[in-house]
Structure 1
Amino acid sequence: MSEKNREGKRTARERLAVEREKQKAAERRRRTLIVAASVVCVLGLAAVIGIVAANSGKDDGSDSAGPVVAPSGANGDDQLAIPVGKADAKSSLTVWEDFRCPACKSFEDAYRSTIHELTGAGQLKVEYHLATIIDGNMGGTGSRTAANAAACAQDAGKFTAYHDVLYENQPPETDDAYAKNDKLIELAKKVDGLDTPAFRTCVEKGTHNSWVAKSAAAFRNGGFSGTPTVILNGKNIYQDQTMTPAKLKKQVQDAAKG
């Protein structure tokens, strides 16, 4: 065999060896990419699971640890209602509200004075139930934190006044200002005698957070369409397009006469 032929065969073998090495390298890269992709998928799934777990229940405060501590005087099923007015009043109004809810503020602005007049006259009793629907819809914790603060005000016998202050000073729905304890304590100064060390401690520790979570769960499980839900003597009057404060007053006063 000539030197030229031997050189040609050697060159061919070398090219083949180089090509095989390239194929092996390509295979190694392919396997590496498959493994990496699998790891990314697993990590991605874990991240999704983690996000879901982290967000689950955030609309109802269920991420709050601790025992369920009902505010003073709470009544009804599982002590989830805060009562206002005389217990023997002929008419009963059940109100499901969220302190971040603009529609709740509109209801309160329109009906506040009438409800105060009727409860003051002993003709109407009101049971307030606190929901956290806006926390779930918009994100944040202001609904829950404000509800806890209102429950703390109930402990101090100042629920009605503080309830009104929260609605009168309600921030825009997208502004989670009520998530800040300092803001809620600042508003307590508008209620005579509420800004006390006991109230501050109750707010800052989230004493009633688990109770709020339980109330929010009752709202979700109650089949209600939204907040506010306002029920007078078993009838949902918020869905009644003809209802007005004057009509509510007449119905309550008529029931008191009967």
Structure 2
Amino acid sequence: MSENKRNGPHSARERLKEQRERDKAREKQRRVLIVSAAVVGVLGLAAVVGVIAAGGDKNSGSDKAGPVVAPTGATDEDAKPAIPTGKADAPSTLAVWEDFRCPACAQFENVMRDSIHELEASGALKVDYHLATLIDGNMGGSGSLRAANAAACAQDAGKFTAYHDTLYINQPPETDDAYGKNAKLIELAAKVPGLDTPAFRSCVNDGTHDSWVKKSNEAFQNGGFRGTPSVLLNGESIFPTKGNEQISPDNLKKWVAEANKGKKAGTASPSAG
């Protein structure tokens, strides 16, 4: 009995240490896999998403069909409106189809953001952001449309990336259509130095880019995508996996390095935003 008493506290400390090591290992794995885990819920609703994509976005906002006003620097290659970021001559392109109300999109962005920005800064990668309004059609409301228009207004001001990131960092719950209120979007603009200007407010309140966003969403609906986010590297889907490998910050860097082997990094001035 005395031997057990002597060993008891020691064994307890060892067990606690081992448990902490296991917890650390699980946390590391969780951070790598969090994006893939998040997408399960989205893909689990594939049937619903498919109906929405085929039937149109009935709750995407006002029915007024104003002129299509593209934000400054936007592209429209293959009739797929996009806001480009990074150096225009970067050898690899990441196409990201997103919805600002989509929880899986926020998890993707919040996990992958630093790596994407690092690859952009090095000239290895440019990103084309395609804005969709899928959640408006699924949950009701207009937050997807309103937030996308506001992001396009931020692009006009040359501050798309900072505002895009701010929207995902502060994303409300999927069922809360907080982004349907222009006042909330303008409030968040104050977090981006120099963005909250009369021109930005007017652009947001007037819905200047609403028709452009709706055109982008139509391209998403017609693109055969299963949900948001849909992420393609040089045209190949990499979300949630590429081959047998799951997406992660390290794997994205590896895949870009493999794709860019023997190619020069981009040196052109960064795209607006």
How far off its partner does 1:79 sit? 6.5
Post-superposition, which runs of at least 4 consecutive aligned residues in structure 1 deviate over 2 A? Answer: 55-62, 76-79, 253-257
The TM-score with structure 1 as length reference comes to 0.76
Question: What SS does the aligned partner of 1:71 have?
Answer: coil
Q: 1:246 is matched with which residue: 244, 250, 268?
A: 250
Q: Determine the structure 2 residue equivalent to 1:63.
A: 63
User: 1:173 and 1:218, CA in 2 relative to 1: closer, same or farther beyond 3 A?
Assistant: same
Q: Where is the helix percentage greater, Structure 1 or Structure 2?
A: 1
Matches within 5 A, 1:23-172: 57-61=57-61, 63-77=63-77, 78=79, 80-172=81-173
User: 1:58 and 1:175, CA in 2 relative to 1: closer, same or farther beyond 3 A?
Assistant: same
User: 1:109 and 1:57, CA in 2 relative to 1: closer, same or farther beyond 3 A?
Assistant: closer
8 Å CA contact retained: 2:157, 2:200: yes
Write the distance in 2 (CA, Å) between the matches of 1:64 and 1:163. Answer: 25
Runs of 5+ in structure 2 lacking a partner?
A: 1-54, 263-273
Count how many residue pairs are aligned between Structure 1 and Structure 2.
Answer: 204
Q: Determine the structure 2 residue equivalent to 1:212.
A: 213
The amino acid of 1:243's aligned partner reads I
Tell which has more relative contact order, 1 or 2 (C-alpha 8 A, sep 6+): 2
Write the distance in 1 (CA, Å) between the matches of 2:58 and 2:73. Answer: 27
Write the distance in 2 (CA, Å) between the matches of 1:114 and 1:60. Answer: 32
Q: Cα deviation per residue 1:184-236 (whole Å; 9 max; x = unaligned)?
A: 00000000110000000000000000111111111001110000000001111
Runs of 5+ in structure 1 lacking a partner?
A: 1-54
The TM-score with structure 2 as length reference comes to 0.72
Q: Cα deviation per residue 1:59-113 (whole Å; 9 max; x = unaligned)?
A: 4447233100000000133461100011111111000000000000010011000
User: 1:249 and 1:56, CA in 2 relative to 1: closer, same or farther beyond 3 A?
Assistant: closer
Write the distance in 1 (CA, Å) between the matches of 2:76 and 2:92. Answer: 16
How far off its partner does 1:177 sit? 0.1
Q: Cα deviation per residue 1:32-65 (whole Å; 9 max; x = unaligned)?
A: xxxxxxxxxxxxxxxxxxxxxxx97434447233
The amino acid of 1:171's aligned partner reads P
User: 1:56 and 1:246, CA in 2 relative to 1: closer, same or farther beyond 3 A?
Assistant: closer
Write the distance in 2 (CA, Å) between the matches of 1:61 and 1:257. Answer: 45
Question: What SS does the aligned partner of 2:127 have?
Answer: strand
The amino acid of 1:140's aligned partner reads G
